[in-house]
Structure 1
């Protein structure tokens, strides 16, 4: 065997070892650490397996998950669909750009919570609130479309989902599943900032969906800016 072939085999062996070693290293990371970073929704499906990705992107669904349990991004349409369903989605979708001013980087926020170590579920809470400047629209506009009773209208609602399945396909693909094992709690805050149960919508009627995210190295703002330029 000549020297060139030997060098090629050694290089290939080192590359294979490094790849396997990296995958093993990623697999042993705590789940919360694996979840941290910037992600873009690449595929969303409902309980029937129907692709609903384009329904949720205005123009892109991107999130950033931080080490202090923070969540920020353009995920409000995704959570709106998750909570209220698609029966009047076409009408509601026409309001999204008015309510959520992602063009000017006015993002929505939330939190996520994960147990220590490697786990297969987590809790996520989305703060659903219009981000447009005054006059651009209010959350109540969407709630009215879906038929929420006027006595339950709020400007901000916290939608919390517990026991959401989470798993990974390599280090750059993350999958969330909201299924029969998932529980939901909806709240708003009173005048002194205390959480109060919001009963304007059934917590049992949320959509059973699967969301696939791809890890991105770009900043959240750059991802949204690029998507808006193509929109």
Structure 2
């Protein structure tokens, strides 16, 4: 009788453990995305390595629970939007316009639905952060018409794929991959004197560079990451 009771108790314990394990909810995508991330790999749609091209001197972002994005992502998004055809000519001006050495970072936002979706929206506020040089100088090099020259342009990418591959025998999600693929679309805007959103047509929205961007989570802050790479 005692043996039977012990067996029953053990069975119930195992059943409860299995039941609650199955009921355990997955971590929401937005929560997984939060933190400080450093770009460790980047390839275009043909598989060519572009990491060294888009890192000035390092691409790092901080994603917060209020949908904020802060970091050194300016050159990366500049490349994604305008491509590499005039990159050599523009790179010197880009280095001059983004003053990351003095911790003057770019901003932006990201938006994710609740639950565990594998697509999200990211909007990069492209604006020169240095006292000398401006976004207009960069846009001029790429051939943007005079009627569309702005000091601030918001570049939004919708349906960017996001995944968090796990290392074997580990539950840590310290790798985040963004993919701009055939399902990704773009929208570019600026704001008028009253802060109203206005469609910006200075560059075709279907000409952005598709690719894969792999980020590794860091415990260090943005300032420390930049200092180590100057």
1:119-157: CA deviation from partner (whole Å, max 9, x where unpaired): 100000000000001xx1010111011110111100000
Match of 2:220 in 1: 218
Moved more, 219-228 or 120-129: 219-228
> Superposition pairs for residues 41-56 of structure 1, below 5 Å?
41-56=39-54
Give the RMSD, CA atoms, in angstroms.
Answer: 1.4
Answer yes or no: is 1:152 the counterpart of 2:148: yes
> Superposition pairs for residues 149-188 of structure 1, below 5 Å?
149-170=145-166, 171-188=173-190
Match of 2:105 in 1: 107
> Superposition pairs for residues 1-231 of structure 1, below 5 Å?
28-133=26-131, 136-170=132-166, 171-228=173-230
The structural deviation recorded for 1:209 is 1.1
Q: Provide the C-alpha distance between the structure 2 equivalents of 1:147 and 1:79, rounded to a whole number of angstroms.
A: 17
* SS class of match (1:59): coil
* SS class of match (2:217): strand
The structural deviation recorded for 1:162 is 0.5
TM-score norm. by structure 1 comes to 0.86
Q: Provide the C-alpha distance between the structure 2 equivalents of 1:184 and 1:203, rounded to a whole number of angstroms.
A: 5
Match of 1:9 in 2: none
The structural deviation recorded for 1:222 is 0.6
The structural deviation recorded for 1:95 is 1.2
Match of 2:9 in 1: none
The structural deviation recorded for 1:33 is 0.1
The structural deviation recorded for 1:225 is 1.1
Q: Provide the C-alpha distance between the structure 2 equivalents of 1:191 and 1:144, rounded to a whole number of angstroms.
A: 22
Q: Provide the C-alpha distance between the structure 2 equivalents of 1:85 and 1:218, rounded to a whole number of angstroms.
A: 31
Q: Provide the C-alpha distance between the structure 1 equivalents of 2:133 and 2:96, rounded to a whole number of angstroms.
A: 6
Q: How many residues are aligned here?
A: 203
* SS class of match (2:100): coil
Q: Provide the C-alpha distance between the structure 2 equivalents of 1:143 and 1:220, rounded to a whole number of angstroms.
A: 27
1:24-59: CA deviation from partner (whole Å, max 9, x where unpaired): x8x910000000000000011001100000001111
* SS class of match (2:137): helix
The structural deviation recorded for 1:94 is 1.1
Structure 1 residue runs without a partner (length 5+): 1-20
Instruction: Indicate the structure (1 or 2) with the bigger Cα radius of gyration.
Output: 2
